[in-house]
Structure 1
């Protein structure tokens, strides 16, 4: 890209958001997206790996189904803790720094898992891994939302979930099968194949940490800390498409003190504690609760279906292998849902996508309960239902970082995302109790109710589609009323 500094100076926008929008997309944006998304891909590997290695761990360490479930719960709670702490740290020290730290933490946890001598130590190492994964998710969403021009913000942020969840789940199973199968045979790993599966996940993450050294910090965070020179350096890297500025390169003065005064990022004088409390006080409280409830129900519904679908199919007469195969094939629909959500992030308002997706999810799950009697209908209806699920979840991820001003965007996003993970941990317990005591139909009925509640909650969150972050959170804007 040829950067015309004089032309840009002559028509310099008045706020940081206008400057970023005026730059358009450059090579640096695409490289940043690639590195963040690849990091998200390995996060999914870390989340799925326990399920994929379950039989191997049972054989090697004597872990039964209950023990495996406990490991999963411990990991999930660590993800929640890591996410909340990571969002807080990112708002203080920067998005880029926290991305690298989180990658290093869950790389360390994975390698330590590979050498765990027993179940107790493995549980501790999965806590370490979860802390890193949690920090990476919320901050990755925040980083992409702040770095990207308004027009493309929804697409870039939604691609995080499209690739990590839509593709990553399947690649995680493929990875595990390759490592414990052909690779284990090639290196004569025997019963220690599961150790290789954990350990090898550390190699590509280390490479990502290295490359992320060259990512720019988001200009919004830098300006929020009064770092005008560093903000101009980051904007110059974005404008020129360079990951690094070399000695002698000119730093273009996009931002000065007057521009900073017109930018939302620099307009706050409260303490860090006051900023964090504002997530649950007026005027941000309503949006935090609304999208938090939506995320809680969305993740709870999805985890309930994914967890219990194999058991439900077995109760209908399918073999264990057959039920797992059917569930995996149904989940292919999730990739299509993510792709649709990515397009929706570009062309359709957030509230519309979430509301329509939730209503269609409720209809889809009831249709499955009533009509999924044979192989074809089980596959087709399950496939379609997964499309709707991932449309909703991906859009919530896109929506979350847009709801909060720069000073607390990392923390606010972490609150939303990790409220979803809490729902994913708790609501399946209710669903499993229903399955045990009153039957599968009532499980699907409960999931439908979750989606109806989700659609209602989304109505109370403000619309953010294609609205610049500066406008959404500028001092002259109401931050409680839907846009």
Structure 2
């Protein structure tokens, strides 16, 4: 437990990782179940591959909107309220997806599902940043991401068991996705509002009450309260580009854009390289299975790094290492070097993601933290959509060596952007980072 001072009101921040890890898992689960259903959907409705591709694109647009809308609403209405209602939205949309009569209706519902999921995920990053002590914010974000990623292979496996049972069994996978309504109801009654958000929005009594409930669980007295006052107040969305904040907005947005281009560029083309190199289908499947273990391990590995060193420096070191390993992966002729380097890349990419996710909400004032984080993440999602076309063009012109050289460059640019131009955040109170902008 740790005490902080928010907007002149002495409050302490703390929180339980239960809601956080559950929401992260639900977000990862939604992505994991999509692939095994595509064949059944195509068979039932006679859809073309292009139409299914459009369905994926619609979901991507929903994710973009969800990040920005969810962040803005969280700044206006509160973190907890958006978490609860966004969870309910995507759970209901997932349930209705199981009843969709055609691809068009399913497409609309998948957009709504994407909005809800990304609103939850984006606001959750902000909530964890505000409700955990500065000394453990990075570990908390890494734990959230790591447990969420552990759910991916489990639920993907369940989908692969359910879908083949009958031509319409794919609908039950969407029913499975609707279980998010359970933690939404629990969060409504058990999850406290962010004390930082409450304090800067005229709800100091609520913030104090939350702190007192937490203090009642402590056997030892808390340290003295140090009161501080936020210097700047921002109300409009355009304030993200106010002179004092503009640099931070640009830095985190570019960091996430380059990171998204590198991650999705690499992971999207990894399964095809072994086959192109002449390995058998069994060998290629073995390689991708080994790689699938890397992301959750990488996120959990970030727990050892994120709070121990400056996050901007950690990201630069990680991305430099990943970029070098990507080149080894692209050009090696050895099977085992390919496996080891590729596994290390998939693992360390998620380590860097956890570090960047911890960094992202720290640099914005409380009143703009949701919108700022959502804007940067939403724009990066759009860049990921266009990245597929860019990577395909590079593959046609320069082969896989060119593809992975490009992804290595993107990953390195991600680290250079935050490493050279980012703020120092490790161990600092959010009021000293986001509120006291120069």
Query: Do both proteins adopt the same fold according to a TM-score greater than 0.5, normalized to the shorter chain?
Result: yes
Say if 1:399 and 1:58 are closer, same or farther in 2 by CA, change over 3 A. same
For the 8 Å contact 1:372–1:381, the answer to whether it is kept is no
Task: Check 1:17–1:191 CA distance in 2 against 1; reply closer, same or farther (3 A cut).
Answer: farther
- Contact (CA 8 Å) 2:6, 2:199: kept in 1 or not? no
Equivalent residue for 2:34? 50
Distance in 2, Cα, partners of 1:34 & 1:310: 34
Q: Distance in 2 between matches of 1:64 and 1:314?
A: 25
Cα 1:168/1:63, change in 2 over 3 Å: farther
Match of 1:410 in 2: 370
Give the 5 Å matches for 1:203-352. Answer: 204-213=179-188, 214-241=190-217, 259=227, 262-264=228-230, 268-270=232-234, 272-273=235-236, 276-318=237-279, 322-352=283-313
CA apart distance, 1:15:
5.2
Q: CA deviation at 1:268?
A: 4.7
Give the stretch that moved more between structures: 408-417 or 276-285.
276-285
1:398 counterpart residue number: 358
Structure 1 pair 372–215 and aligned structure 2 pair: CA distance change class (3 A) = farther
**How many angstroms apart in 1 are the aligned matches of 2:296 and 2:286?**
17
Aligned mates of 2:102, 2:95 — CA distance in 1:
15
Residue in structure 1 matched with residue 110 of structure 2 by the alignment: 126
Residue in structure 2 matching 1:193, options 138, 157, 169: 169
* 2:346 aligns with one of 360, 373, 386: 386
- CA distance in 2: counterparts of 1:159 and 1:319, whole angstroms: 36
Q: TM-score, normalised by structure 2?
A: 0.92
Is the 1:402–1:469 Cα contact (8 Å) retained in structure 2?
Answer: yes
Q: Which residue of 1 aligns with 2:397?
A: 437
Shift of 1:149: 1.4
**Whole-Å separation in 2 of the counterparts to 1:103 and 1:333:** 28
Query: 2: CA distance between counterparts of 1:269 and 1:16?
Result: 10
Report which structure shows greater RCO (CA 8 Å, sep ≥6): 2
| C-alpha distance after superposition, 1:330-356 (max 9, x if no partner) | 131222211121221221210111101
After superposition, the Cα gap between the structure-2 partners of 1:14 and 1:193, relative to the gap in structure 1 and judged at 3 Å, is closer
TM (norm. structure 1) is 0.84
Native 8 Å contact 2:198 2:204 kept in 1: yes
Question: 1:179: which partner in 2?
Answer: 162
* RMSD between aligned residues: 2.5
Unaligned stretches of 5+ residues in structure 2: none
Counterparts in 2 of 1:395 and 1:269: CA distance versus 1, 3 Å: closer
Q: Structure 1: which 5+ residue stretches go unaligned?
A: 2-7, 185-189, 243-251
- Residue aligned with 1:226, SS: coil
Once the 2 structures are TM-superposed, how far is the Cα of residue 157 of structure 1 from its aligned partner?
1.9
Deviation at 1:141, TM superposition (A): 0.5
Structure 2 Cα separation of the partners of residues 344 and 207 of structure 1 = 33
Aligned-pair distance for 1:402? Answer: 0.3
1:112 equivalent in alignment to 2:96:
yes
Whole-Å Cα distance in 1 between the matches of residues 143 and 333 of structure 2?
A: 31
Instruction: Give the whole-Å Cα distance in 2 for the aligned partners of 1:16 and 1:325.
Output: 54
| Number of equivalences | 432
Deviates more, 1:12-21 or 1:154-163: 12-21
Show the counterpart of 1:464.
425
In the alignment, is the contact (CA less than 8 A) between 1:333 and 1:387 conserved in 2?
yes
